[in-house]
Amino acid sequence: MTSRPCWEICRIRAVPVPDKSYHTLDDFEVNGQLILVRADLNVPLDNDRQITDDTRIKRLVPTLEELSRRGGRTILISHFGRPEGRRIRNLSLGIVSPSLSKALNGADIAFANDCIGNIAKSVVNTLKPGEFALLENLRFHKGEEANDSNFAIELAALGTIYVNDAFSAAHRSHASVVGVPGLLPHAAGRLMQAELEALSKVLIHPEQPVMAIIGGAKISTKLKLLGNLVDHVDILAIGGGMANTLLYAKGVEVGTSICEPEMANEAREILTKATASSCEILLPVDVVTLTDGKLDEEPQIVSIDSVASGTRILDIGPASTDRIGSRISGCKTLLWNGPMGMFESPPFDMSTNFLARKTAEMTQTGSLISVAGGGDTLAALSHAGVETGFSYVSTAGGAFLAWLEGHCLPGVTALKP
């Protein structure tokens, strides 16, 4: 390794390691206590205001059921959308309450149409051991995103113990993420704990060899990620549009494919850094192409040095897929972020499906630790039918990528005992 990233330098105060640098639910007696749980209930909705993916709700269930079983009086707080300090009816968390109740086997969820003040207090004060309350959208108040100390004090006044179970918000220095844990005894919830332990296994204490599969459209959004990974993995396989930029930087014709020519110098710097760090980078050796604008044509598989100027690369080819698959076979730890091609449109999902299924099979046999997350990764793994086949699949998005880029996350640091 050529440098020590933030997650090693600050791991004693911010990162889960065997010396246990943060409290969990095991460290508190919660019976009768008012447990203020920072959740992430920012679920997607369709045009009819129906929840299209309730994964984040379901992943809260272990923490919530445990708190209820142990007699805690649980108060859920969360953001929802971007109201920017304004009360917007369509961004009320009340819409989430029925799905939350269903996930908790029909449990009653008391709802307060504010998250601070007398309205919130009146609902919280009615809770009995084992019961739940959901407070209104934190971001209806400007104090949340501004990390206003008075807003944090008002939130903290509602509880006796703070539990953060929203790793997906841990990269935000918001009042409910960093302000409140400074005012109350605090712990990581089971979802937060699982996320931190999974990430620790990948980049702090990994079983070697370590491999990363990184895809997606733009290299510009993942420069820091790639720059850090080449210091920490043995093999880095790159697909999607960002592979085209790296190929372009090497003088390869990529036709009309997604590409960022303006990032060519940065791409070459990554390749140079990888060589210096003894990280093997796997770029496509063949690709699946289509004549630009002619979706009804039969896709063509061509070697990477035979891409015609009027064609578009939409997936890596079978030789590239087999090459990556053979490297997976020799690894013990795998990190996955982003699809290899335009997986939403068959047959351009073949490489992503094959590699995802191979990873899941090795994981299930116990020969591989696999962690995935960020961007379109969850959708790609779900499309391949293996969303439950990995060791851990993160729903955190931005926080997941920020961690992998080497940042110390404020919400994790705030959980220091």
**What would the DSSP string read from start to end of 26-90?**
GG---TT-EEEEE------B-TTS-BS--HHHHHHHHHHHHHHHTT-EEEEE---S--TTS--GG
For residue 375, the model assigns a pLDDT of 67
Residue 347 preceded by cis peptide, ω within 30: yes
- Do residues 231 and 170 share a domain? no
124 assigned to some structural domain: yes
- Residue 185 CA to residue 30 CA, distance in Å, equals 11
Domain that holds residue 176: 6-192
- Do residues 222 and 184 share a domain? no
Query: How many other C-beta atoms can be found within 10 angstroms of the C-beta atom of residue 407?
Result: 19
416 assigned to some structural domain: no
Single out the residue in 152, 168, 192 at which a domain terminates: 192
- Do residues 259 and 181 share a domain? no
- Do residues 183 and 79 share a domain? yes
Query: Which one from 375, 389, 406, 411 is the annotated catalytic residue?
Result: 375
Three-state DSSP class for 103?
Answer: helix
200 assigned to some structural domain: no
180 assigned to some structural domain: yes
Enumerate the β-bridge partners of residue 316: 287
Query: Which one from 56, 201, 222, 327 is the annotated catalytic residue?
Result: 56
412 assigned to some structural domain: no
Residue of 241, 223, 215 lying closest to 339 (CA atoms): 215
Burial class (CB in 10 A: 0-12, 13-18, 19+), 330: exposed
**Active site includes 159?**
no
8 A C-beta contact, residue 403 and residue 5: no
Query: How many other C-beta atoms can be found within 10 angstroms of the C-beta atom of residue 4?
Result: 11
- Do residues 221 and 302 share a domain? yes
- Do residues 267 and 219 share a domain? yes
pLDDT (tens digit, 0 to 9) for every residue of the chain, 417 residues total? Answer: 333 333 332 222 223 333 358 999 999 999 999 999 999 999 999 888 899 989 899 999 999 999 999 999 999 999 999 999 999 999 999 999 999 999 999 999 999 999 999 999 999 999 999 999 999 999 999 999 999 999 999 999 999 999 999 999 999 999 999 999 999 999 999 999 999 998 888 877 899 999 999 998 888 888 888 999 999 999 999 999 999 999 999 999 999 999 999 999 999 999 999 999 999 999 999 999 999 767 778 999 999 999 999 999 999 999 999 999 999 999 999 999 999 999 999 999 999 999 999 999 999 999 999 999 976 898 899 999 998 999 999 988 888 888 888 888 999 999 998
**Active site includes 139?**
no
- Do residues 153 and 230 share a domain? no
8 A C-beta contact, residue 145 and residue 89: no
Q: Record the tokens describing residue 117, joined without a space.
A: 């003040």
For residue 20, the model assigns a pLDDT of 57
Single out the residue in 159, 192, 225 at which a domain terminates: 192
CA atoms within 13 A on the CB side of 412: 31
Query: Which one from 81, 323, 398, 416 is the annotated catalytic residue?
Result: 398
- Do residues 112 and 235 share a domain? no
Domain with residue 268: its CATH number is 3.40.50.1260
- Do residues 87 and 186 share a domain? yes
User: Could you please report the per-residue DSSP string of 229-278?
Assistant: HTTT-SEEEE-HHHHHHHHHHTT---TTSS--GGGHHHHHHHHHHHHHTT
- State phi, psi for 391 to the nearest 5 degrees: -60, -40
Q: What is the CA radius of gyration of the chain?
A: 23
25 assigned to some structural domain: yes
User: Could you please report the per-residue DSSP string of 187-205?
Assistant: EE-HHHHHHHHHHHHHHTS
Three-state DSSP class for 117?
Answer: helix
**Active site includes 216?**
no
8 A C-beta contact, residue 7 and residue 413: no
CA atoms within 13 A on the CB side of 229: 27
**Active site includes 341?**
no
- Do residues 142 and 223 share a domain? no
- Residue 128 CA to residue 126 CA, distance in Å, equals 7
Q: Record the tokens describing residue 275, joined without a space.
A: 């060589």
- Residue 6 CA to residue 406 CA, distance in Å, equals 5
For residue 3, the model assigns a pLDDT of 35
Query: Which one from 218, 224, 332, 357 is the annotated catalytic residue?
Result: 218
Angle between helices 264-276 and 240-249 (to 10 degrees): 90
Instruction: Name the DSSP letter for residue 383.
Output: H
198 assigned to some structural domain: no
Single out the residue in 192, 217, 252 at which a domain terminates: 192
- Do residues 98 and 143 share a domain? yes
Query: How many other C-beta atoms can be found within 10 angstroms of the C-beta atom of residue 346?
Result: 11
197 assigned to some structural domain: no
Model pTM? Answer: 0.84
Pairing assessment for the beta strands 280-282 and 333-337 based on DSSP bridges = unpaired
Query: How many other C-beta atoms can be found within 10 angstroms of the C-beta atom of residue 49?
Result: 8
- Do residues 12 and 77 share a domain? yes
Q: Record the tokens describing residue 405, joined without a space.
A: 């880029």
Q: In 132-220, which ranges are continuous DSSP H helix?
A: 142-145, 149-156, 190-203
Q: How many domains does the structure of the chain reveal?
A: 2
8 A C-beta contact, residue 369 and residue 391: yes
